[in-house]
Structure 1
Amino acid sequence: MNSRVLVIFVDALGPCQLEAAGGFGGLPYRGQLRGFLGYSCGALPTLLTGAPPARHGRMCLFAQAPEGTGVLAPLSWLGLLPRVLHERSRLRRLAAWMLARQARLTGYVELYRVPPEAFRWLELPEREDLFAAERIGGCETFLSVARRAGLRVFAAPWQLPEEQRWAHTEAVLREQRPELAFAYATELDGALHRAGNDSAEARLAMRRISTRIARAAEAMRAGGGEVRTIVVGDHGMADIDRVVDPRGLLRRLHGVRAFVDSTMLRLWGDDRTLARARDVVEGEGLSGQWLDTGALEARQAPTHGDPYGRALFLLEQGSLFAPSFVGGAVRGMHGYDVGSSSALAAIASDTPIPESCHSLTDVAPWVRSLLGVSA
């Protein structure tokens, strides 16, 4: 007899965070998963599909598009406004909402601090709701596989505020008795970014999440049958001890297209241009490493068409670009190299974790096997 399965995704739950949370009561089996280069917008599709970023094509929130063709291109009009206006978060949220409505985007849309002129050559890879999508970059999710098999599936609406989302999730688990449920916890990530690992805010967030996990599992079991609970993260979090202002460096990068993420400087250009850019970047004496196409391929990053850069400079764990195109200085960050501790994700369960489950790519096959469905 196949099990009913409750999967709870906790953004920024790494092994260190799981240990600090006490492992979440009632889940005695714990482990760690190898992560991939990039951010949550790449890791979450990997969890859902079981495919690495090189296959599903996701890594960062923003990707390159041919000039003027991307969904973000119309927003270059923001550059007509004074900087003091177009950088206001309220205006940017309104512009993002209008864009999503006009372009019928159901995925996560946020403009952060991207310079308006960059919108002409940027694209949003995530255009649709990951939890409702049949496929991500051609790769089927375990949610879609279960739906296709005729199972009752519930995925928590990520658009709802945290407390409201969990209340809705618990009610649905009791009333609809799904055979596969996917719950979504985001507040730990925000707390760790704002306050760091050893903070009262992070500890309170983990206690709330632990309580919500227990309540969701109890609600799921109320539907009867054998229920397996899996709690999994997408990455951990590192405390910041060095902030790097990239503005002077950007002024010295002539003739190269650049995007500054929190932990990486992504670059596009021909071989000669990138060679000059590498000399400039490495001349800064920053703690980090230059990753060319070969290094990106070795990390299973998407490289076909250079969507996220032909090369990038990746900061050492604990360092942060600020101000970047996606934010300012914070206390915690992730998005470092695959060998760093913050690139590891945690996993916990009330059932033994298979020995083969050692990477983000291994979660989806395990969920499918528990449900008795195949991709």
Structure 2
Amino acid sequence: MKDRLSLFIMIDACGWEIVKDLPFLEKVAPHRRKLESVFGYSCACVPSILSGRWPDEHRNWCYFVHDPEHSPFRPLGWLRFLPTALTGRRIVRRYLTKFVKKSLGFRGYFDLYNIPFQFIHLFDFTEKKSPLKPGGMNVGPNIFDLLEQRQVPYYVTDPSLPEEKHLELLLADIESQRIDFAFQYWAGLDGLLHMVGNNSPEIPKKLDHYERWITQVMEVAKKHYRHVDLHVFSDHGMANCDEHLDLRSKIDTLGLKFGEDYAVAYDSTMARFWFLKPGAREKIEALLATVPEGRVMPDDELKHYRTHFDDHAFGELVWLAKEGVLIVPSHMGERPIRAMHGYHPTDPQSYATLFSNTADVPADLTHIPHIHSLMEQAVEHHAAARAPKKNVA
């Protein structure tokens, strides 16, 4: 029997408002805490958890950025001649995504989403590496770099596999006592919430499903390790989308030319603008001021939430929708979905969660990047325990 196992399990989109009144994990991880997320989507939240740094430090914030000089998508120009009735279908985009990801050698999460093919050559994609791998951050190390450096054996989720396989592989590593540290990432709740919303009776059922899995993991772990430290957490919450906004049509009324006067990435809850010719900014700002469903994020506020970039790589202006407003159609999707995240970090449904089987979590662990400190502490403990003992004369 080994001495200690450190288990870190991330349940994507398991927001505080969703679980606060449920008995979720009260037996195996009774110590629960509300955490503030980072401003952005999972592509910003997960790297922040894995590195302990903020988006303005690790530069994993939003996926698509205007950068025609470095765009890897120039060979896709021929796709603009295909009918939108074909390329707009999700199943076609899915197959194209797989082909493009393989041909470009991307290792992280990648999706073409709904970027128009006539403009895709103007964009770069920021997650070419996987944050779930050593060396996977855009800037700086992550927890897997530290695990490799300190030679601590570990398990990490392979996102290409189904969740049931994740559980099977983790249990096998625990039973063999191969690992001292595990990072399990389950994304199924996020996808379900997008489809049915956070008030659906399917959500408690999904949480019960995860609770049974986590209980099983703990039961097996306690047979093979004397001490098991468990931390279950999320990256953000999820808000029901009861209002839809066609922001693109409003911007189009200005008569400005995309790619010549301005560029924009229409995310599901944000619109990020770049201005290419004089006068474009003033016209767009004046129009955005008339849209009551959201607001422009001031630079001071972006700096406060660590998403201001001096080089404006992710946009010169960021417009953010109010919680519950979905930008549709957007570059993320042509059709509405039931719920979304990526709103202001202090909106009620944005808060994340932390569940632990120990009360010794520091009181100043208040934001999701702070979870990294728990992982780092665990790695250093295991590294010290594995170090050869010095003989004392």
Taking structure 2 as the reference length, the TM-score comes to 0.89
The offset of 1:230, in angstroms, is 0.5
Instruction: Say if 2:328 is the partner of 1:322.
Output: yes
State the Cα deviation string for residues 170-213 of structure 1 (Å, max 9, x = none). Answer: 22322243111011111111111111111122222111111112
* AA at the equivalent of 2:235: D
SS for the counterpart of 1:225 is strand
CA distance in 2, matches of 1:121, 1:220: 50
Query: What aligned pairs does 1:42-191 form with structure 2 within 5 A after superposition?
Result: 42-65=44-67, 67-191=68-192
Aligned position for 2:310? 304
CA distance in 2, matches of 1:135, 1:116: 28
Length, aligned pairs only: 372
CA distance in 2, matches of 1:224, 1:63: 46
Query: What aligned pairs does 1:263-274 form with structure 2 within 5 A after superposition?
Result: 263-269=269-275, 272-274=279-281
Instruction: Say if 2:340 is the partner of 1:333.
Output: yes
Out of 349, 362, 365, the position equivalent to 1:354 is 362
The offset of 1:116, in angstroms, is 0.8
CA distance in 2, matches of 1:18, 1:234: 14
**Alignment gaps of 5+ in structure 2:** 384-393
Contact kept? 1:197, 1:238, Cα under 8 Å:
yes
Q: Which moved more, 1:79-88 or 1:93-102?
A: 93-102
Cα distance, 1:72–1:18 mapped onto 2, change above 3 Å = farther
Q: Which moved more, 1:267-276 or 1:81-90?
A: 267-276
The offset of 1:20, in angstroms, is 4.9
The offset of 1:257, in angstroms, is 1.0
The offset of 1:156, in angstroms, is 1.3
The offset of 1:154, in angstroms, is 0.7
Contact kept? 1:69, 1:120, Cα under 8 Å:
no
CA distance in 2, matches of 1:209, 1:119: 38
Contact kept? 2:150, 2:379, Cα under 8 Å:
no
* AA at the equivalent of 1:55: E
CA distance in 2, matches of 1:88, 1:360: 35
Contact kept? 2:171, 2:217, Cα under 8 Å:
yes
Out of 345, 350, 357, the position equivalent to 1:343 is 350
Aligned position for 2:379? 371
SS for the counterpart of 1:139 is coil
SS for the counterpart of 1:306 is coil
Aligned position for 1:38? 40
CA distance in 1, matches of 2:130, 2:221: 24
SS for the counterpart of 1:136 is coil
State the Cα deviation string for residues 199-250 of structure 1 (Å, max 9, x = none). Answer: 1222221111111121222333333131100101000011122111223213
Taking structure 1 as the reference length, the TM-score comes to 0.93
Aligned position for 2:246? 245
State the Cα deviation string for residues 138-170 of structure 1 (Å, max 9, x = none). Answer: 222122212210111110111112222222222
Contact kept? 1:192, 1:332, Cα under 8 Å:
yes
* AA at the equivalent of 1:267: F
CA distance in 1, matches of 2:365, 2:74: 41
The offset of 1:3, in angstroms, is 4.3
* AA at the equivalent of 2:130: D
Contact kept? 1:135, 1:141, Cα under 8 Å:
yes
* AA at the equivalent of 2:35: L
CA distance in 1, matches of 2:279, 2:66: 20
**RMSD over aligned Cα, in angstroms?**
2.0
Aligned position for 1:289? 295
CA distance in 1, matches of 2:222, 2:49: 24
SS for the counterpart of 1:9 is strand
Contact kept? 1:23, 1:348, Cα under 8 Å:
no
Q: Give aligned-pair identity as a percent.
A: 24
**Alignment gaps of 5+ in structure 1:** none
CA distance in 1, matches of 2:231, 2:295: 35
CA distance in 1, matches of 2:136, 2:126: 13
Contact kept? 1:236, 1:345, Cα under 8 Å:
yes
The offset of 1:118, in angstroms, is 2.6
CA radius of gyration, larger in? 2
Query: What aligned pairs does 1:212-291 form with structure 2 within 5 A after superposition?
Result: 212-253=213-254, 254=256, 255-269=261-275, 272-283=279-290, 285-291=291-297
Cα distance, 1:314–1:149 mapped onto 2, change above 3 Å = same
Aligned position for 2:389? none
